[in-house]
Amino acid sequence: MGGIVVLGAGGRAGRAVTAEALGRGLDVTAVVREPDRYPALGKEGATVVRGDVTDAESVRAVAVGHRAAVHAVSPFSGPEQGFDSLDPEFFVKAADALLDGLAKAGVRRLVVVGLFANLLGADGRPLMDDPAVFPPEIRPFALAHTAGLRRLREAGEGGFVDWVMLTPGGGLEEGAPRTGRYRLGDERVPEGGSVVSYADLAVAVVDEIRTPTRHRRRVSVVRAER
pTM of the model: 0.95
Q: Which of the four CATH numbers 3.40.50.720, 2.70.98.60, 1.50.10.20, 3.30.1540.20 does domain 4-222 have?
A: 3.40.50.720
Give DSSP secondary structure letters for 38-57.
-HHHHHTT-EEEE--TT-HH
Q: What is the pLDDT of residues 114-167, one digit of tens each?
A: 999 999 988 899 999 998 888 888 888 999 999 999 999 998 778 999 999 999
To 10 degrees, the CA torsion angle through 14, 102, 91, 26?
-10
Q: What is the pLDDT of residues 49-91, one digit of tens each?
A: 999 999 999 999 999 999 999 999 998 765 555 666 789 999 9
Of 53, 160, 200, the closest CA to residue 112 belongs to: 53
Per-domain residue ranges of the chain: 4-222
Q: Is the distance from CB of 48 to CB of 42 less than 8 angstroms?
A: yes
11 phi, psi to nearest 5 deg: -85, 175
C-alpha distances out from residue 16 to 20, 23, 33, 125, 155, Å:
6, 10, 18, 30, 28
3-state DSSP assignment of residue 102: helix
